């Protein structure tokens, strides 16, 4: 927003700034110092507090969330829509899958994104027609991307990959293949206008189903001779070695990130959950820690750790045996 002579407006690319103008800028924390050098003095009042009613501060403009529901918008960059110069509105934030993103010109929109739009009421209504904002159209789960991802992931996981110096080829397996395909679809799917949105209920159902199958298969595989193995002296030694290998390195890395690198506690919790592939611990972290830092950190670390776990174990066994 831009305040000038008591009036509020949306600054477009054609707007000429004047001395004593007051502007509200939304950016990342790392860019705030550069903005102060460009524009001048920063106000001491905190305009991000929750008790500020923006619709009362600037009565000529309103702030509204618009849902992207038109398939034609999926995969398009914000700069391609030219909404700011055409309708005189600003998109400040994009809310996607529980994470708030900064609305930059290069950001590609996806079906299901919630956009925070600021502008005049008529302009926002026009933008609604372009983006869709039809909640009912997202009620149907789009399982095509899930089906394609599973088929391609299982196919990729079964393909043997030859590594120089190792006689037996390595396979990504049932875990590594779908993860790699999921990352590729999430990255390049919007560029190909592929709709990857699923409803929240379908998302939670797939998570619960995958977690149940994981725990069931793990229990079936380990439960047959579990007590007979643990009661032996070798079993206690294996349990102790497994505890040391899984607990000690994770705690050391967590303390190093928290104390030395000054990473926030939520991100460290998500990092530890992702490194141990523990979605149950992630649910506990999300319930006890405010914000989405644990989920973002988990999603960043988990694919790398799962990929390394699948590949490195096979390579070590081949080198040792």
Model pLDDT for residues 262-274, shown as the tens digit of each residue: 888 989 998 888 8
209 shares a domain with 160: yes
Query: In terms of domains, do 253 and 218 share one?
Result: no
Tokens of 258: 């928290």
Among 224, 248, 273, residue at a domain's last position: 224
CA distance 23 to 20: 10
The residue range of the domain holding 104 is 2-138
102/42 same-domain check: yes
Tokens encoding 190:
């919007």
Burial-class residue 191 by CB neighbours within 10 Å (0-12, 13-18, 19+): exposed
> With contact defined as beta carbons under 8 Å apart, do 246 and 277 qualify?
no
Instruction: Select from 138, 157, 186 the last residue of a domain.
Output: 138
What distance lies between CA 239 and its chain's CA centroid?
Answer: 35
Residue 40 three-state SS:
coil
pTM over 0.75: no
Which positions of the chain have pLDDT values less than 70? Answer: 47-59, 165-166, 218-224, 314, 321
**133 and 144 inside one domain:** no
Identify whether residues 88 and 194 lie together within a single domain. no
pLDDT at 115: 92
Last residue of a domain, one of 91, 116, 138: 138
Structural domain count, the chain:
3
Length of the chain: 321
Which pLDDT score is estimated for 247?
84
Taking the CB of residue 195, how many other CB atoms lie within 10 A of it?
Answer: 16
What pLDDT is attached to residue 50? 66
Note the pLDDT of residue 153.
Answer: 87
130 and 188 inside one domain: no
Same domain membership, residue 147 and residue 36: no
- Separation of first and last alpha carbons in the chain: 66
91 and 102 inside one domain:
yes
Residue pair 172/310 in contact by the 8 Å Cβ criterion: yes
Q: At what angle do helices 173-188 and 144-157 cross, to 10 degrees?
A: 130
Cα Dmax for the chain: 83
Per-residue model confidence (pLDDT) at position 256:
93
**Residue 266 · residue 284 · CB < 8 Å:** no
């Amino acid at each position: 927003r831009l305040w000038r002579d008591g009036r509020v407006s949306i600054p477009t690319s054609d707007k000429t700034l004047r001395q004593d103008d007051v502007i509200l800028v939304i950016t990342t924390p790392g860019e705030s110092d550069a903005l102060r050098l460009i524009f001048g003095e920063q106000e001491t009042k905190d305009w991000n507090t929750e008790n500020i009613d923006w619709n009362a501060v600037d009565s000529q403009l309103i702030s509204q969330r618009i849902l992207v529901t038109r398939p034609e918008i999926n995969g398009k960059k914000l700069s391609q829509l030219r909404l700011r110069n055409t309708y005189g509105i600003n998109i400040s934030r994009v809310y996607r899958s529980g994470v708030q993103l900064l609305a930059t010109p290069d950001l590609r929109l996806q079906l299901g994104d919630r956009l925070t739009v600021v502008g005049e009421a008529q302009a926002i209504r026009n933008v609604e027609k372009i983006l869709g904002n039809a909640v009912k159209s997202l009620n149907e789960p789009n399982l095509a991307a899930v089906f394609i991802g599973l088929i391609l992931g299982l196919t990729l996981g079964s393909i043997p990959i030859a590594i120089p110096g190792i006689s037996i080829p390595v396979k990504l397996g049932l875990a590594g293949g779908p993860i790699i395909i999921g990352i590729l679809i999430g990255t390049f799917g919007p560029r190909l206008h592929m709709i990857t949105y699923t409803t929240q209920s379908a998302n939670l159902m797939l998570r619960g189903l995958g977690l149940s199958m994981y725990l069931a298969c793990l229990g079936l595989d380990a439960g047959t001779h579990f007590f007979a193995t643990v009661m032996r002296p070798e079993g206690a030694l294996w349990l102790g070695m497994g505890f040391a290998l899984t607990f000690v390195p994770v705690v050391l890395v967590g303390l190093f990130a928290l104390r030395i690198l000054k990473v926030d506690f939520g991100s460290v919790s998500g990092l530890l959950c992702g490194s141990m592939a523990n979605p149950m611990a992630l649910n506990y972290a999300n319930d006890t820690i405010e914000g989405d830092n644990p989920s973002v950190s988990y999603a960043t670390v988990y694919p790398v750790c799962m990929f390394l776990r699948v590949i490195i174990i096979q390579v070590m066994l081949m080198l040792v045996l």
